[in-house]
């Protein structure tokens, strides 16, 4: 989130602005004045740690005696194209394929699998939708009843201090300007896309997660297999054990969203990330509130930066007034996952932010009705991997086409899905595909991406996010954007680099000061567990925890010892808890897998990179309604 | 089944738009029992029935994927659907049971939405058939059914003659998963569509909902230090 101040044009004005900035920043820093102590936990454990991980990805079943004699054959089916993930990218790709099939009167079997129990239940976003991709996909979207009910009418940007608000003018040409866009409840929009897809004949299977990538003998992707069901918490088979199903396809599209777990595997398998920087992320937390009618301004978009984050922690807030009958606002907070202080809790920063006078006055007297969280991409152009490989391709936020300063990724995700469909269609319907590998390799998709408006957009804004890595942090970044984006439109010849892997950014706990967060007051701010209850998340209890650890001993030995267990703080659902051992001295990690909201933050931010998020039994996870 | 329930702003009911609906857990157990009876060759055909708007076809599909042979969707929507209660559903089931010449009607003991626990019993009364409710074990013995029922005092075993109505309780069985290959096969199975009027059932409700409110927020408890304090507080609020 960010903006430019026009006075930063001339060199001397820059210097004075810098001086004023430094003075202002010293005040902001003083607000986080450290209490001169920190907790240091001794964690020598004399007792035996109970086993945490039992998932078959860590403990293979072919070596496990409990699985001897269990029927492991899978039913397989063939389709032309299989799509993993029922989000904007996956659904747009499916729709575009069927539209082309209808136009050219060809038959095409398109199957889409989605881990949520219904399309839209795992979708979470702000969101201000730029209708550019939608106009290309369905020029008649209004007649079809797309739920774009709230055109943006006002756009506000503020820099917050603890008590005050500095308004910043939203000049046209700035990336954040929202003229012509719509505030949507993305879950409802995705649900509508799902209905359009089904009408066109796409086979959609919600409640079935793609758990495994299948390969041909020649190494190309053959398709996917859905999750097995009926495995007990200790990893043994239950009476109701059933193997997942294999879906084979000529091409498989992976649209798992930000930091997909199958995509992680594909990066390694096909070495797709050798020429790009590692992706950097942020976590976004969101709530829906029904507010007092007198405070409701439908169509108003508010963004802020500054308090409660310090200038070196990237992040900010959004508050959108929806126009769907009742006085509903969607609000939330984003924190860049390259933060350095292991004591930072994005959830508590979010709750704290709501107490700012400018925000509290909108929320006072209102009721919170929904909560959720999800990681999002911040890397942009520098972090785009190779997106095609034999047998498949990556679409949407999985490779990561989000335009960070605009804070929009839905339109680029949809467009990437459509471009993928257009590249695939001639190949899968051709009589003789003329492919070297059994799974089709379609590099035309990547060429099409490079020629499209997605590439131009991402190139123009590529230096904005990395420009935050300077002494002045947020303010330096804003100055950079003012000069190089607003005026020069991103044409500068250099490309700045990001800071590296998010998980490597944490400083050891002893070098940082704990942050004193205020207690939730139950009216504006809330505790973690009541928030998780609102997300509607649930999983079958008797299954292996899907937050798998490569090594069960590392959390206490490394995460707790050096970083004071940051996963207790960055998980927005309270999955990770360090609890005292029942006997003996020391702590152990307890994983409450049922609380998981599938945000993927732990897989991203774990300093030991020991946590590997895999997909749980299908239809588990949050039950977002229009989030 | 973990969804946050919200009362509609006009207090006429609960928000159901966009909320994920799924098969009632006791009905899943009922479907499983029916499929098990078919697998043991006691019955020849299992028909899954649901009453409601278009979305219920998804639930019928799940039942078909679990092993039912065909489905019947009795379409009820709008105001009729909001006012629909156990009596109307029982009338529909009774009419269908006669039409299909069923030998068993198996239902879940109650819906977790309203916990009425009436539909099975009303269906049996309308048909004048015997009923085995809260079944935790069902055995077919020729033309009779032995049902072990879960009652407050323990377990009661009864023998009833077919045709009969059974309602499933929690410990009857563990429902199987509806796997993806079965869902795909279920798309080919038939779901017949009809309206209550086709069965001669009038949907007029004898019950009118005046108002729906959320339960009052639980107040915090008060801790007292001594027994005297406790007595004083109880006296102060008039309890003693």
Q: What residues of chain B lie within 8 A of the CB of A86, using their CB?
A: none
Q: Mean pLDDT across the stretch A223-247?
A: 93
% pLDDT > 90, chain B? 69
- Please answer whether residues B107 and B123 qualify as being in contact, where contact means their C-beta atoms are separated by less than 8 angstroms: yes
Contacts of B54 (CB under 8 A, 6+ apart): B75, B77
Query: Which residue's entry shows tokens 């023998």?
Result: B159
Confidence of residue A583 (pLDDT cuts 50, 70, 90): confident
The question of whether A596 is a catalytic residue gets the answer yes
| Residue A537 near chain B (CB below 8 Å) | yes
Query: Omega of the bond prior to A114 within 30 degrees of 0, cis?
Result: no
Chain position carrying tokens 């992040």? A315
Residue A455's alpha-carbon distances to A272, A382, A415, A487, B116, in angstroms, are 18, 11, 11, 20, 58
Picking from A282, A371, A407, A380, the residue whose alpha carbon sits closest to that of residue A335 is: A282
Q: Does residue A622 sit at the B interface (CB-CB below 8 Å)?
A: no
CB hemisphere CA count around B234 (13 angstroms): 9
Task: Give me the count of residues in chain B.
Answer: 240
The answer to whether residue A476 scores a pLDDT higher than 90 is no
Check if the beta carbon of residue A360 is closer than 8 Å to that of residue A353.
no
Catalytic residue check, A258 = no
Please state the rounded mean pLDDT for residues A546-575: 93
- Looking at residue A483, its pLDDT comes to 77
Across A185-210, b (16+ Cβ under 10 Å) vs e yields bbbbbbbbbbebbbebebbbbbbbbb
Q: Mind listing the pLDDT tens digit for each residue in B176-229? A: 998 899 999 998 899 999 999 999 998 888 888 899 998 888 877 878 889 998
Query: Is A558 a residue whose pLDDT tops 90?
Result: yes
How many Cβ contacts (< 8 angstroms) between chains A and B? 54
Which is it for strands A81-84 and A251-254: parallel, antiparallel or unpaired?
parallel
Distance (Å, whole) CA A289 – CA A534: 12
pTM for this prediction: 0.88
Residue B9 forms contact with A (CB below 8 Å) = yes
The verdict on a CB contact (< 8 Å) between B2 and A537 is yes
Best residue in B20, B29, B57, B62 for a mutation probing chain A (most A CBs within 10 Å): B20
Band (A4; pLDDT cuts 50, 70, 90): very low
Mean pLDDT of A340-353: 94
Say yes or no for a CB contact (<8 Å) between A245 and B180. yes
Handedness of CA A87, A93, A99, A105 (dihedral sign): negative
Instruction: Answer for the pair A569, A342: CB distance below 8 angstroms, yes or no.
Output: yes
SS3 per-residue string spanning chain B: CCCCCCECCCCCCECCCCCCCCCCHHHHHHHHHHHHHHHCCCCCCCEEEEEECCCHHHHHHHHHHHCCCEEEEEECCCHHHHHCCHHHHHHHHHHHHHHHCCCEEEEECCCCCCCCCCHHHHHHHHHCCCEEEEEEEEEEECCEEEEEEEECCEEEEEEEECCEEEEECHHHCCCCCCCHHHHHHHCCCCEEEECHHHHCCCCCCCCCCCCCCCCCCCCCCCCCCCHHHHHHHHHHCCCC
Chain B residues near residue A326 by CB distance under 8 angstroms: 9
Neighbours of A31 (CB within 10 A): 12
pLDDT of A5: 44
- In angstroms, the separation between the Cα of residue B180 and the nearest Cα of chain A is 7
Handedness of CA A245, A246, A247, A251 (dihedral sign): positive
- Report residue A314 as tokens: 């990237």
> Could B4 and A205 be called an inter-chain contact, meaning their C-beta atoms sit closer than 8 Å?
no
Q: Does B177 touch chain A (CB under 8 A)?
A: yes
pLDDT at A24 over 60: no
Strands B144-151 and B154-161, bridge-based pairing = antiparallel
* Mutation target vs A (from B23, B32, B59, B177; most A CBs, 10 A cutoff): B177
Q: In angstroms, rounded to a whole number, what is the distance separating the alpha carbons of residues A217 and B61?
A: 36
Q: What is the DSSP letter of A503?
A: G
Model confidence band, residue A48 (pLDDT cutoffs 50, 70, 90):
low
| Interface contact B55, partner A, CB < 8 A | no
pLDDT at A10 over 50: no
What's residue A37's pLDDT?
36
C-beta of residue A403 within 8 angstroms of C-beta of residue A233: no
pLDDT category at A25 given cuts 50, 70, 90 is very low
- Binary contact (B4, A534; C-beta < 8 A): yes
Q: Kindly report, residue by residue over A53-84, the tens digit of the pLDDT.
A: 999 999 999 888 999 888 899 999 999 999 99
Chain B residue with CA closest to A538: the answer is: B2
Task: Give the mean pLDDT of chain A.
Answer: 88
Say if residue A33's pLDDT is above 60: no
Q: Which two tokens stand for residue B10?
A: 């006009």
Task: Mark yes or no for CB contact B4/A121 under 8 Å.
Answer: no
Q: What is the ipTM of this complex?
A: 0.84
Q: Is the pLDDT of residue A168 over 60?
A: yes
Q: Record the tokens describing residue A445, joined without a space.
A: 């998709």
Cβ separation of A226 and B180 shorter than 8 Å?
yes
CA-based R_g, chain B, Å: 22
Q: What is residue A355's DSSP assignment?
A: T
Q: Which of A258, A383, A397, A602 is catalytic?
A: A602
Per-residue pLDDT at A19: 53
Identity of the highest mean pLDDT range in A36-50, A128-142, A161-175, B224-238: A128-142
Q: What is the rounded CA–CA span in Å between residue B178 and residue B23?
A: 12
């Amino acid at each position: 989130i960010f903006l430019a101040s026009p006075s930063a044009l001339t060199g001397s004005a820059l210097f004075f602005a810098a001086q004023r900035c430094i003075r202002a920043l010293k005040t902001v820093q003083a607000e986080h004045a450290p209490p001169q102590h920190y907790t240091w936990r001794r964690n020598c454990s004399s007792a035996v740690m109970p086993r945490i991980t039992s998932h078959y990805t860590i403990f293979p079943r072919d070596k496990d005696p409990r699985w001897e004699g269990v029927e492991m054959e899978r039913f397989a089916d063939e389709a032309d194209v299989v799509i993993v993930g029922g989000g904007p990218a996956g659904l747009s790709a499916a729709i575009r394929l069927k539209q082309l099939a209808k136009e050219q009167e060809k038959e095409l079997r398109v199957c889409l699998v989605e881990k949520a129990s219904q399309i839209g239940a795992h979708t979470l976003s702000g969101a201000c939708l730029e209708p550019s991709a939608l106009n290309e996909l369905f020029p008649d979207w209004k007649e079809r009843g797309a739920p774009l009910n709230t055109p943006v009418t006002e756009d506000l940007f503020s820099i917050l201090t603890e008590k005050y608000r500095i308004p910043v003018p939203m000049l046209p040409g700035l990336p954040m300007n929202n003229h012509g866009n719509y505030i949507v409840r993305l879950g409802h929009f995705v649900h509508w896309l799902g209905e359009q897809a089904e009408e066109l004949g796409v086979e959609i299977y919600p409640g079935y997660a793609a758990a495994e990538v299948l390969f041909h003998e020649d190494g190309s992707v053959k398709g996917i297999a859905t999750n097995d069901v009926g495995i007990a918490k200790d990893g043994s088979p239950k009476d109701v054990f059933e193997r997942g199903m294999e879906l084979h396809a000529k091409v498989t599209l992976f649209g798992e969203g930000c930091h997909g777990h199958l995509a992680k595997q594909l990066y390694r398998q096909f070495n797709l990330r050798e020429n790009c920087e590692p992706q950097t992320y942020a976590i976004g937390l969101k709530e829906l509130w029904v507010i007092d009618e007198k405070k409701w301004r439908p169509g108003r978009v508010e963004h802020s930066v500054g308090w409660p984050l310090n200038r070196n922690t990237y992040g900010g807030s959004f508050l959108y007034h929806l126009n769907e009958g009742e006085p509903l606002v969607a609000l939330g907070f984003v924190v860049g996952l390259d933060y350095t202080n292991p004591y930072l809790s994005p959830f508590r920063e979010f709750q704290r932010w709501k107490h700012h006078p400018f925000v509290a006055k909108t929320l006072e007297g209102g009721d919170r009705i929904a909560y959720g969280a999800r990681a999002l991409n911040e890397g942009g152009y520098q972090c785009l991997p190779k997106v095609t490989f034999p047998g498949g391709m990556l679409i949407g936020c999985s490779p990561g086409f989000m335009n960070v300063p605009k804070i929009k990724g839905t339109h680029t995700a949809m467009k990437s899905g459509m471009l993928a469909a257009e590249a695939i269609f001639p190949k899968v319907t051709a009589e003789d595909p003329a492919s070297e590998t059994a799974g089709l390799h379609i590099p035309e998709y990547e060429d099409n991406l490079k020629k499209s408006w997605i590439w131009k957009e991402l190139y123009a804004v590529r230096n904005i996010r990395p420009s935050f890595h300077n002494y002045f942090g947020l303010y330096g970044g804003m100055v950079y954007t003012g000069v190089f984006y607003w005026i020069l439109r991103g044409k500068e010849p250099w490309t700045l680099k990001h800071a590296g892997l998010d998980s490597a950014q944490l400083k050891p706990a002893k070098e940082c000061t704990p942050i004193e967060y205020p207690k939730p007051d139950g009216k504006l701010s809330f505790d973690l567990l009541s928030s998780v209850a609102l997300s509607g998340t649930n999983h079958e209890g008797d299954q292996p925890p899907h937050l798998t650890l490569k090594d069960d001993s590392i959390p206490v030995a490394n995460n707790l010892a050096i970083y004071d267990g940051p996963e207790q703080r960055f998980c927005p659902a309270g999955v990770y808890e360090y609890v005292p051992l029942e006997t003996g001295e020391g702590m152990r990690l307890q994983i409450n897998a049922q609380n998981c909201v599938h945000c993927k933050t732990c897989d991203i931010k774990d300093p030991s990179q020991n946590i590997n998020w895999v997909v749980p039994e299908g239809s588990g996870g949050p039950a977002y309604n229009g989030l | 089944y973990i969804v946050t329930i919200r009362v509609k702003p006009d207090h006429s009911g609960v928000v159901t738009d966009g909320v994920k609906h799924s098969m009632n857990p006791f009905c899943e157990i009922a479907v499983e029992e029916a499929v098990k009876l078919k697998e043991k060759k006691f019955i020849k055909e299992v028909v899954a029935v649901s009453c409601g708007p278009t979305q219920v076809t998804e639930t019928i599909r799940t039942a078909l994927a679990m092993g039912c042979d065909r489905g019947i969707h009795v379409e009820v929507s709008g105001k009729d659907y909001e006012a629909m209660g156990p009596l109307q559903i029982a009338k529909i089931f009774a009419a269908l049971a006669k039409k299909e010449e069923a030998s068993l009607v198996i239902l879940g003991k109650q819906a977790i939405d309203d916990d009425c626990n009436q539909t099975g019993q009303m269906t049996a009364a309308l048909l004048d058939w015997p009923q085995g409710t809260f079944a935790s074990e069902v055995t077919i013995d020729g033309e009779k059914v032995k049902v072990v029922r879960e009652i407050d005092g323990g377990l009661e075993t009864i023998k009833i003659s077919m045709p009969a109505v059974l309602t499933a309780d929690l410990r009857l069985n563990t429902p199987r998963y509806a796997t993806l290959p079965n869902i795909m096969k279920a798309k080919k199975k038939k779901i017949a569509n009809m309206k209550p009027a086709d069965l001669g059932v009038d949907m007029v409700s004898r019950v009118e909902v005046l108002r729906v409110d959320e339960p009052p927020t639980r107040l915090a408890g008060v801790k007292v230090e001594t027994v005297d304090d406790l007595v004083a507080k109880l006296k102060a609020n008039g309890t003693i």
